[in-house]
């Protein structure tokens, strides 16, 4: 029973750690399926985390914070679009540039506004998204197996967590059941087909990037005012890149993206749990090994275990009309 | 000039279309009228302005001057959407299909009939059924595009246009990627479409197709529409002359072969492709000095893999290749080149050239270790450019500029760059794949003459081509390949039908 409790606590923490990954990977899904590589997910997450924390701090309203996070993230997306769609610039360079801008700007503005070395002020409780106790969680707690799972893993999360999981079927539905989704998938494979069908490639890709910005805004907001209570320097800490790895790992499909993010979240939670603990026979293992696991796993799995990951064919290439 | 191309009222008229790209005058005062319910061909060499004209019709470009009339009414075609609305459908040379979509999804794209797909799908399915019945365009609507043969993919393109209500169908070089059987199938479909009242414009540089299928034909040369004829009242020779602007020899003149000793010998060669499928199956033959051996066959019957194995690009599974009677131990392209074997690959874009390089850089690809071009790790750029200039002059490569990016040369001139590079090294044996694919008539004549000269100079030439005419006019002996095996050998005067049957695997 003791092992089971430990397992439940790791699982609960895995869910919490996978949410920003899930939002970000879904965000990347929309832009990459439309043929725009987005290495700037990290920057969007960071910038929106900062914006959400500032606005939530000033207004004391978590939803206003979320709105600000989404807005800033969409602005970053549009900048990426302006560079790489309108001006046909290199998508990787543009994305990296946005990451730098986000990293620098959050520190400069944060220091100027809050004088705490890049931290924002402590966001008051009403300016944060806090856990929601689902009905019956306390009653269920004593039911063996299911009880602790329901009370500690499924219940008690904040609203953004539930939205994240809701976004998975919604993303699937948008991509595979709507006109927008069909065109979006087509433009990532062969923009010529979309253009000759009389649909604007540029506008379509911009719309995809707006969706990307929207979803990445949730991820940033989650970091600063749901998982913590302030913005801290570089608090995205590479999660944008892990989300990108999860996206590749999941072969650019929404439901596998969810499982990939859960797996990476679990590894992260496991790494935290193993800190300072020693394994039988081996002794204490440096925590860095566990922290490196998601990356190692991505490399190993991509190298052959999941077969060839085929990215959207027109990814990374700006569209020019052919004669 | 604006000779009415059919007794019927015109479906589409172009009046005084003019288009300049900077200094290049791509279309000069083009007048054209195509009758409803007819097949009209437009021929011209690469760069004659055919594609520009069609891009104007499909809204990719805007004419600087001139008017487009459809069913007698002037229209402005601002973009593809407007072209579709005006009833124009286009089948592009490179298919505009999404490969990992189904046929149905591709047909629906851009004409989904609502925000949600579910509503449109049933309607699209029904409409596809109807089109299939009316025009004999059978394609499985649920098949993935990437799993369909090229001929079927093209039918999907035609279906896309018809689904959008096209009355005028433009096909840009439609047979370039098709096997002869698929091309015949396409022509039957086009005839059905015409008989049902659709108007078809066929852009091509293949004279045979024009004669086989069109009712009327217009010839373009250097941006001008130089002539319009009724197909029944013209000849291949006249059209060729109009296209090139001078008389052309359609059949190469050559003397008898004078075969010497065996230079290249293949014994029981078996080759597998990347997927592990046996593509060349126990093939043996000899090529002698001073003869051209042609390998005929429908594309995909192992000719490409045979050529690649001989050139050292693909490792054979078993069998032997002998040069001058000596077995080749390590078939590596560099070693083979030293033994006097040159290779003009089938696909100049993927294997023959680096399109982003300047011409002079491509002129030494694979021969960069030649002491004439530098020493050790250093290249002697002056020497390379000088030799490139010599090749440009000798092979009439245009424009004559060794510093021009290779991608900016026309197909025919790109091919000449490859031919010049390989032949100028004075090899003993020459492997040639599809020497004139996508090459215009003037350059075809030139390249064919060079190949004959190589033979007459006592070289052993192995020619692989899917163009049966080319094989028949150049080869001294013809081997026919089917399903990886050489199914027979014929002399060069074998008739087309016999060879066609052998290529289909029916008779030996």
Strands (E), B178-274: 199-204, 216-221, 224-230, 262-272
CA distances from B248 to B116, B218, B219, B238, B399 (A): 57, 18, 15, 10, 21
Out of A177, A190, A197, the one facing B116 most closely (by C-beta) is A177
Print pLDDT tens along chain B (508 aa).
Answer: 344 444 578 999 999 999 988 777 889 999 999 999 999 999 987 778 888 898 899 988 889 999 999 999 999 998 889 999 999 999 988 899 999 999 999 999 999 988 999 888 999 999 999 998 888 888 899 999 988 888 899 999 999 999 999 999 999 988 877 777 788 889 999 999 999 999 999 998 788 889 999 999 999 988 899 999 999 999 988 998 898 887 776 677 888 888 999 999 999 999 998 778 899 999 999 999 999 999 998 877 899 999 999 999 999 999 999 999 899 877 788 889 989 999 999 989 889 999 999 999 999 998 888 888 988 889 999 999 999 999 999 998 988 899 999 988 888 889 999 999 999 989 999 999 999 887 877 888 899 999 999 999 999 999 999 888 889 999 999 999 998 999 999 998 888 888 888 887 876 5
Q: Which domains does chain A have, with CATH numbers?
A: 16-128+136-305 (1.10.3470)
Contacts of B108 in chain A (CB under 8 A): 182
Q: What is the predicted pLDDT for the residue at A1?
A: 60
Contacts of A321 in chain B (CB under 8 A): 60
Task: Give the minimum alpha-carbon distance from B462 to chain A in angstroms, rounded to a whole number.
Answer: 36
Structure tokens at A303: 């190298």
Distance of CA B190 to the CA centre of its chain: 20
Cα nearest neighbour of A183 on chain B: B109
The residue of B19, B61, B80 whose CB has the most chain A CBs within 10 angstroms, and thus the best one to mutate to test that interface, is B80
**Residue A23 to residue A165: CA distance in whole angstroms:** 9
Interchain contact, A186 vs B101, CB within 8 Å: yes
Out of A185, A194, A323, the one facing B110 most closely (by C-beta) is A194
A154-207 tens-digit pLDDT: 888 999 999 999 999 999 999 999 999 999 999 999 999 999 999 999 999 999
**Backbone dihedral angles phi then psi of residue B456, each to the nearest 5 degrees:** -65, -20
Interchain contact, B98 vs A199, CB within 8 Å: no
Interchain contact, A186 vs B116, CB within 8 Å: no
Cα nearest neighbour of A178 on chain B: B116
Q: What is the predicted pLDDT for the residue at B377?
A: 85
Q: Which domains does chain B have, with CATH numbers?
A: 10-244 (3.40.50.300), 251-340+428-508 (3.40.50.300), 354-426 (no CATH)
Q: What is the predicted pLDDT for the residue at A278?
A: 75
- Chain B residues contacting A via beta carbons under 8 Å: 51-52, 55, 58, 60-61, 79-81, 83-84, 90, 92, 94, 96-101, 105-106, 108-112, 114-118, 120, 160
**Residue A66 to residue A52: CA distance in whole angstroms:** 6
Contacts of A322 in chain B (CB under 8 A): 60, 94
Cα nearest neighbour of B83 on chain A: A198
Structure tokens at B334: 């560099």
Residues contacting B228, CB < 8 A, separation 6+: B1, B2, B3, B5, B32, B216, B217, B218, B219
What is the pLDDT confidence band of residue A133, given thresholds at 50, 70 and 90?
A: confident
**Residue B96 to residue A319: CA distance in whole angstroms:** 13
Out of A185, A193, A321, the one facing B97 most closely (by C-beta) is A193
A44-54 tens-digit pLDDT: 999 999 999 99
Interchain contact, A185 vs B81, CB within 8 Å: no
What is the pLDDT confidence band of residue A38, given thresholds at 50, 70 and 90?
A: very high
Cα nearest neighbour of A190 on chain B: B98
Q: ipTM of this model?
A: 0.87
Instruction: Report yes or no: B295 and B479 within 8 Å, Cβ to Cβ.
Output: yes
Residues contacting A132, CB < 8 A, separation 6+: A155, A156, A157, A158, A159, A162
Task: Give the minimum alpha-carbon distance from A40 to chain B in angstroms, rounded to a whole number.
Answer: 27
CA distances from B223 to B47, B48, B69, B174 (A): 8, 5, 20, 21
Out of A178, A192, A313, the one facing B117 most closely (by C-beta) is A178
**Residue B309 to residue A318: CA distance in whole angstroms:** 37
State how beta strands B429-433 and B460-464 pair. parallel
Q: Is B188 exposed, middle or buried (0-12, 13-18, 19+ CB in 10 A)?
A: exposed
Out of B52, B92, B116, the one facing A196 most closely (by C-beta) is B92
Interchain contact, B116 vs A185, CB within 8 Å: no
- Chain A residues contacting B via beta carbons under 8 Å: 176-183, 185-186, 189-190, 192-199, 313, 321-323
Contacts of A193 in chain B (CB under 8 A): 96-98, 106, 109
Contacts of B100 in chain A (CB under 8 A): 189
Residues contacting B211, CB < 8 A, separation 6+: B231, B236
Average model confidence (pLDDT) across chain A? 90
Distance of CA B395 to the CA centre of its chain: 21
**Residue A183 to residue A186: CA distance in whole angstroms:** 5
Interchain contact, A179 vs B80, CB within 8 Å: no
**Backbone dihedral angles phi then psi of residue B390, each to the nearest 5 degrees:** -60, -45
Structure tokens at A26: 């879904």
Cα nearest neighbour of A195 on chain B: B80
Interchain contact, B98 vs A197, CB within 8 Å: no
CA distances from A252 to A26, A188, A248, A293 (A): 9, 11, 6, 21
**What DSSP letter does each residue of B304-340 carry, written as one string?**
HHHHHHHTTSS--SEEEEEETTEEPSS--HHHHHHTT
Interchain contact, A196 vs B96, CB within 8 Å: yes
CA angle at residue B185 from B184 to B188, to 5 degrees? Answer: 90
Least confident of A112-116, A311-315, B503-507: B503-507
Structure tokens at B192: 């059905």
Instruction: Report yes or no: B195 and B183 within 8 Å, Cβ to Cβ.
Output: no
Strands (E), B205-247: 216-221, 224-230
Query: HSE on the CB side for B433, CA within 13 Å?
Result: 22
Interchain contact, B109 vs A182, CB within 8 Å: yes
CA distances from B210 to B200, B205, B266 (A): 12, 9, 40
């Amino acid at each position: 029973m003791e092992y089971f409790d430990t397992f439940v606590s790791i699982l609960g923490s895995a869910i919490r750690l996978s949410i920003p990954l899930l939002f970000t990977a879904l965000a990347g899904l929309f832009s990459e399926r439309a043929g725009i590589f987005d290495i700037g997910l990290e920057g969007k997450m960071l910038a929106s985390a900062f914006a959400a924390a500032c606005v939530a701090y000033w207004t004391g309203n978590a939803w206003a914070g979320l709105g600000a996070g989404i807005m800033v993230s969409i602005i970053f997306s549009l900048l990426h679009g302006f560079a790489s769609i309108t001006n046909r610039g290199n998508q990787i360079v543009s994305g990296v540039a946005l990451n730098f801008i986000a990293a620098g700007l959050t520190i400069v503005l944060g220091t100027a506004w809050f004088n705490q070395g890049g931290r924002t002020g402590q966001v008051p409780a009403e300016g944060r998204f806090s856990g929601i106790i689902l009905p019956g969680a306390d009653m269920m707690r004593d039911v063996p197996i299911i009880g602790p799972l329901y009370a500690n893993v499924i219940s008690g999360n904040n609203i953004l967590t539930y939205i994240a999981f809701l976004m998975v079927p919604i993303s699937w539905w948008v991509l595979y059941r709507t006109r927008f989704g069909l065109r979006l998938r087509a433009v990532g494979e062969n923009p010529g087909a979309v253009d000759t069908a009389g649909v604007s490639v540029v506008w379509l890709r911009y719309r995809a990037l707006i969706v990307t910005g929207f979803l990445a805004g949730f991820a940033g907001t989650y970091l600063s005012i749901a998982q913590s209570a302030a913005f801290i320097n570089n608090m995205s800490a590479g999660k944008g890149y892990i989300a990108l790895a999860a996206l590749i790992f999941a072969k650019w499909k929404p439901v596998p993206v969810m499982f990939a993010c859960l797996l990476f979240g679990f590894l992260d939670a496991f790494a935290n749990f193993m800190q300072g603990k020693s394994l039988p026979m081996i002794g204490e293992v440096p925590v860095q090994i566990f922290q490196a696991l998601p990356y190692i796993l991505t490399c190993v799995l991509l190298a052959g275990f999941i077969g060839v990951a085929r990215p959207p064919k027109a990814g990374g290439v700006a569209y020019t009309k052919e004669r | 000039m604006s000779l009415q191309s059919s007794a019927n009222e015109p479906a589409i008229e172009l009046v005084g279309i003019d288009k300049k790209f900077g200094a290049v005058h791509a279309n000069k005062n083009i007048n054209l009228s195509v009758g409803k319910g007819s097949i009209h061909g437009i021929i011209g060499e690469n760069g004659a302005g055919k594609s520009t004209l069609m891009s104007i019709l499909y809204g990719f470009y805007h004419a600087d001057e001139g008017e487009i009339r459809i069913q007698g009414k002037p229209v402005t075609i601002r973009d593809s959407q407007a072209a579709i609305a005006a009833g124009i459908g286009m089948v592009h040379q490179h298919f505009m299909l999404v490969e990992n979509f189904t046929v149905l999804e591709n047909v629906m794209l851009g004409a989904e009939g609502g925000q949600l797909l579910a509503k449109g799908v049933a309607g699209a399915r029904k409409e596809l059924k109807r089109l299939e019945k009316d025009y004999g365009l059978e394609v499985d609507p649920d098949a993935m595009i990437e799993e369909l043969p090229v001929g079927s993919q093209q039918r999907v393109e035609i279906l896309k246009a018809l689904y959008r209500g096209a009355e005028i169908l433009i096909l840009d070089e439609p047979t370039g990627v098709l096997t002869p059987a698929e091309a015949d199938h396409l022509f039957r479909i086009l005839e059905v479409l015409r008989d049902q009242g659709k108007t078809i414009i066929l852009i091509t540089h293949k004279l045979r197709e024009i004669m086989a299928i069109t009712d009327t034909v217009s010839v373009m040369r250097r941006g001008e529409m130089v002539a319009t004829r009724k197909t029944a009242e013209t000849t291949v020779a006249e059209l060729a002359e109009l296209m090139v602007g001078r008389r052309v020899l359609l059949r190469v003149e050559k003397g008898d072969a004078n075969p010497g000793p065996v230079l290249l010998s293949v014994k029981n060669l078996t080759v597998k492709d990347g997927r592990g499928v046996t593509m060349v199956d126990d093939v043996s033959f000899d090529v002698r000095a001073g003869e051209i051996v042609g390998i005929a066959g429908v594309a995909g019957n192992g000719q490409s893999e045979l050529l690649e194995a001989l050139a050292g690009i693909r490792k054979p599974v078993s069998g032997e290749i002998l040069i001058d009677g000596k077995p080749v131990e390590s078939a590596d392209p560099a070693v083979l080149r030293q033994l006097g074997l040159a290779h003009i690959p089938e696909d100049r874009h993927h294997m023959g050239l680096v399109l982003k390089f300047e011409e002079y850089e491509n002129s030494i690809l694979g021969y960069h270790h030649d002491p004439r071009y530098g020493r050790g790790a250093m290249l002697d750029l002056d020497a390379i450019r000088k030799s490139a200039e010599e090749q440009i002059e000798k092979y009439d490569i245009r424009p004559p500029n060794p510093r021009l990016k290779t991608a900016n040369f026309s197909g025919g001139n790109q091919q000449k760059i490859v031919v010049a590079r390989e032949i100028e090294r004075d090899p003993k044996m020459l492997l040639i794949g599809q020497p004139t694919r996508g090459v215009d008539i003037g350059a075809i004549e030139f390249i064919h003459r060079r190949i004959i000269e190589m033979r007459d100079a006592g070289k052993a030439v192995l020619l692989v081509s899917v163009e049966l005419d080319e094989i028949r006019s150049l080869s001294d002996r013809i081997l026919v390949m089917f399903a990886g095996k050489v199914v027979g050998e014929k002399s060069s005067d074998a008739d087309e039908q016999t060879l066609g049957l052998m290529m289909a695997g029916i008779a030996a």
